[in-house]
Amino acid sequence: MRLIFFYLGKLFTIIKNEVLVLPSRVAVGLFFLFMLLLPLFTKDIYLLRIFTLTSIFAIFAASWDLLSGFTGQMNFGHALFFGVGAYGAALLNLHASIPPWASVPLGALCAVLAGLIIGIPCLRLRGTYLALTTLAFPIILTGLIFAFPSFTGGELGISGIVRLTQSRVGDYYTVAVLMLGLCTVMWKITDSNIGIIFHAIREDEVAVRASGVNTTRYKLLAFSLSGFFAGISGGLYAHFMRIAGPSTLDLFLSFSVVIYAIFGGVVTIYGPVGAVFVLFPLLEFLRVVQNYRTLMFAVVVLLILLYMPDGLFAWLRDKIEKECPRCKIRNIATRHTCRVCTAPLD
Amino acid sequence: MAPSFLEIKGITKSFGGLQAVNDVSFSMERDQILGLIGPNGAGKTTLLRLITGILKPDTGSVRFMGKELVGRKTWSIVNMGIACTFQNMRPFRRIPIIANVMVSCMSPRAMKSGEWVKRLEAKAMDALEFAGISDMAREKASVLSQGDLKRLEVARAVATEPELLLLDEPFGGLSPAETELMAKSIKRLHKGGRFGRLHSEGPAMIIVEHQLQWLMKIVDRIIVLNFGNLIADGSPDEITKNPQVVEAYLGGGGI
């Protein structure tokens, strides 16, 4: 009994010293709690459905940030991974009757394969050329899908896929927990030594090569990691909607993920996730003014980009936190001295 | 006979109609510091880039410790033990200075030689300390001055623990005091030894430089390029007396 109290005390100290000192960490903690406790307060199917879809697209947006934000490999055809993941999971589930817990990761592996196949020829390209080439791949795949309607379902897509779980709440929890877990994993990757190389590749690829690092390998790694996470979101989408259609390869999907990422702040991971949680429900709730829905959506996005060019969440973080000029540790904006080295802030 | 340390044979590179490096051949020993001088546009930087594989030569061969370098990728050449710095500094501006050096520390060559150093930061910090900018380690690289950027370049190159170091204008844009410091660091590096957790094998060096006054004090041997051609090769004393070199620098026809 005393041991339990001892560890509880330790946990409390960690939370007090590491989490509560920074508002951004508190916000992330509250977000986790909110996602996990939401079904306890509402059983509204419509609301749960919106948040499930939002979580799926949050994984998708974060995976784009991992590739294009961090390594700077502008990918305008990110829907390719989403679509391959969705179709892969759907076909495996329908024809080989593999259950969702296996078909989703296997579909994601198909997306990794797709990432490697397009990654290898695209690695020689840079900037605009890369963006335009990647833009073409989902369109090519859509053409292929229309060419073999007996296997892929053509324009109607593949329907009759097994549900993710037996209940709406189960669906919600599966997707929400996966979203929180995968986004944490992505954030961890970008925070590690690999993340440093990704940053460096974005800044100056020749200099990275002159530092003795095989950039080709790391760029392929970025392509496959990003493809894997996007493929998982695609597979979840297919199992949740119970249909995998050509809309999963849509051009609009590729561009909306770019909008999400830039709206929330690129090169952050938390930015795109937050942006999806703002924009996706916003688009849903704007249904009350059906005719002006997209227009108002565009106005919101434009205003944010005009006044917060670094993205909404990067801007918010700068407002509530200050960086210590001496030790570079972040502090809450209300403090006058750094919490670690006691140097005066600004 | 053991293969010579670095051997360059008949290397040629042209950009369109411009012959940047024309049939240059020389070889150097493990313990030398080689100065590479010449007027603007003589092809000095191009020659360094041909060695590191950033540019591909039209013809010719570069052999390093018996192995052919032409056709290899830059990162693989760096992992064989040739590090280079850039004339127009190319730091990763938006990441901290220490992370700039950690990229070099993550190259296979650096990882292999420092297995007992668990933390990359510690090794990167030693490289920064050697270059003399360790006090700014946590700042973004964009805040550095011209002279400190040069030092960052050197720290990044040293972190791969090279056997041959190619320095492209290490004194460019430095104040006289900074130049002296840099010259001393180069001398110290060439002697070899340990700098904290960083092991220096006392690399051979090729230094491209315009400030001859300082260069003459460091190097053992000087090679002069003019319009892509090698026009002189010898000790600093011989070079200053060579009439061809004087003509290339001051122009023919008398003053």
Is B212 among the domain residues?
yes
Residue B156 lies in a domain: no
Please choose, from the candidates A239, A274, A273, A309, the residue with its C-alpha nearest in 3D space to the C-alpha of residue A63: A273
Q: Does A190 touch chain B (CB under 8 A)?
A: no
In a domain, B81, yes or no: yes
Q: Please, which pLDDT band fits residue B57 given cuts at 50, 70 and 90?
A: very high
CB proximity A204 to B under 8 Å: yes
How confident is the model at residue B197, as a pLDDT?
Answer: 73
* Cross-chain residue pair A212–B104, CB shorter than 8 Å: yes
Q: Which residue of B has its CA nearest to A202?
A: B92
Residues A44, A49, A50, A54, Cα dihedral to 10°: 140
CATH of the domain at B182: 3.40.50.300
pLDDT in tens, A211-243: 999 999 999 999 999 999 999 999 999 999 999
Q: Would B131 be classed as within a structural domain?
A: no
Q: What is the model's pLDDT at position A127?
A: 82
If you average pLDDT over residues A313-326, what whole number do you get?
A: 89
Please state the rounded mean pLDDT for residues B170-184: 87
Residue A313 pLDDT class (50, 70, 90 cuts): very high
Chain B residue with minimal CA distance to A207? B90
Q: Do B106 and A210 lie within an 8 Å CB cutoff? A: no
Tokens of A322: 């200050």
Flag whether pLDDT at A92 surpasses 90: yes
Residue A323 clears pLDDT 70, i.e. is over it: yes
A27 pLDDT more than 70: yes
Which of the listed ranges A179-183, A281-285, B54-58 does the model predict with the highest average pLDDT?
A179-183
The span from the CA of A118 to the CA of B16, in Å, is: 33
> What local confidence, expressed as pLDDT, does residue B255 receive?
44
Interchain CB distance below 8 Å, B78 and A327: no
> How is chain A split into domains, by residue range?
42-293
Which pLDDT band holds residue A137 (cuts at 50, 70, 90)?
very high
Q: If 0-12 CB within 10 Å is exposed, 13-18 middle and 19+ buried, where does residue A4 land? A: exposed
With respect to residue B238, please indicate whether it lies within any of the assigned structural domains: yes
**What is the pLDDT at residue B253?**
54
Instruction: Report yes or no: A217 at the B interface, CB cutoff 8 Å.
Output: no
Nearest chain A residue to B94 by CA distance is A203
Q: Is A196 on the interface with B (CB under 8 A)?
A: yes
Model confidence at B254, pLDDT cuts 50, 70, 90, reads very low
Q: What are phi and psi for residue A245, nearest 5 degrees?
A: -115, 180
With bands split at pLDDT 50, 70 and 90, how would you rate the model's confidence at B117?
Answer: low
The pLDDT mean for chain B works out to 87
B 104-163 residues with CB < 8 A to A: 104, 106-110, 120, 138-139, 156, 159-160
What is the pLDDT at residue B118? 64
0.95 exceeded by pTM: no
Mean pLDDT, residues A111-126 taken together: 88
Task: Measure in Å the smallest separation between the Cα of B102 and chain A Cα atoms.
Answer: 8
Please report which confidence band the pLDDT of residue A286 belongs to, taking 50, 70 and 90 as the band edges. confident
Using only the alpha carbons of chain A, give its radius of gyration. 21
Of A147 and B89, which is predicted with more confidence?
A147
- Domain hosting B61: range is 6-91+161-250
Distance CA A6, CA A106 (A): 43
pLDDT(B220) > 80? yes
- Could you please state the CATH topology (level 3) that the domain comprising A42-293 is classified under: ABC transporter involved in vitamin B12 uptake, BtuC (1.10.3470)
Nearest CA in chain B to A214: B75
Residue B144 domain flag: no
Across the A:B interface, residue pairs with CB atoms under 8 Å apart total 80
Would the pLDDT of B184 be above 50? yes
Can you give the pLDDT at residue B36?
A: 92
Asked if residues A321 and A332 have their Cβ atoms less than 8 Å apart, the reply is: yes
| Total tally of structural domains belonging to chain B | 1
Q: What is the pLDDT of residue A297?
A: 83
Give the tokens for residue A54: 């939002």
Q: pLDDT at position B115, please?
A: 59
Q: What is the pLDDT of residue B109?
A: 87
- DSSP letters along A28-84, please? HHHHHHHHHHHHHH---HHHHHHHHHHHHHHHHHHHHIIIIIIS----S-THHHHHH
pLDDT at A257: 92
Confidence label for A292 from pLDDT (cuts 50, 70 and 90): confident
B231 touches chain A (CB under 8 A): no
Q: Is the pLDDT of residue A32 over 50?
A: yes
H-type alpha helices, A265-334: 270-285, 293-307, 312-320
Tell me whether residues A203 and B103 touch, CB distance under 8 A. Answer: no
Give the mean pLDDT of A279-291.
Answer: 85
